[in-house]
Amino acid sequence: MNQPMDPELHVIKVLDTKHGQLTVHLKGKLSETRIDGSVSSTLPRRGHIDPAIDAVEALVLAHACNYIRVDRVNYMEGVEKALDAILDRAGTTVPIEAELLQKIRDRLHERSAMAAQIAHGEEGEDADDLIEELDKILQK
């Protein structure tokens, strides 16, 4: 008696995005409801965005392992939009943080200078005026 064929499935899908490639490796029996797989990519890594990139990779792999056609145009457009959002945010977050840190540093420097003037009671400087100036800086 002939047994039904249950071919072994070995698939490699290379998904090109404008940010890099995702390579999905799938292996399993065609009759299985879920097959095993792994993913690798050339997507950019920048430390603080790595968890978001990992999440996109994991989602694509999970879908591919459950027979969702991740190589379809509509699916890839969604992946592109997710990557765009992650990388756009990463591009604006770092400079904003650096700018904020610079402002904090500058204000602390000004505050330190005023505190030194108050502590040393420098001639010609009224402590009340310095305190008022310090209060104005802290309110900005």
Q: Identity (one letter) of the amino acid at 25?
A: H
The three-state secondary structure class of 22 is: strand
> What does the domain layout of the chain look like in residue ranges?
8-94, 96-139
pTM for the model: 0.59
Beta strands 36-41 and 20-29, pairing class: antiparallel
Return d(Cα 107, Cα 74) in angstroms, integer: 50
Mean pLDDT, all residues of the chain: 77
Q: Using one digit for the tens of pLDDT, what is the confidence trace for 72-125?
A: 988 999 998 899 888 887 764 444 456 666 666 667 667 666 666 666 665 445
The answer regarding whether domain 8-94 maps to CATH 3.90.70 reads no
Rg (alpha carbons) of the chain, rounded to whole number: 29
Region 5-13: what's the mean pLDDT?
80
CA dihedral 43, 45, 48, 49 (to 10 degrees): 0
95, two tokens: 């400079």
Cα-based distances in Å from 91 to 44, 48, 49, 95: 12, 11, 10, 7
Region 25-41: what's the mean pLDDT?
86
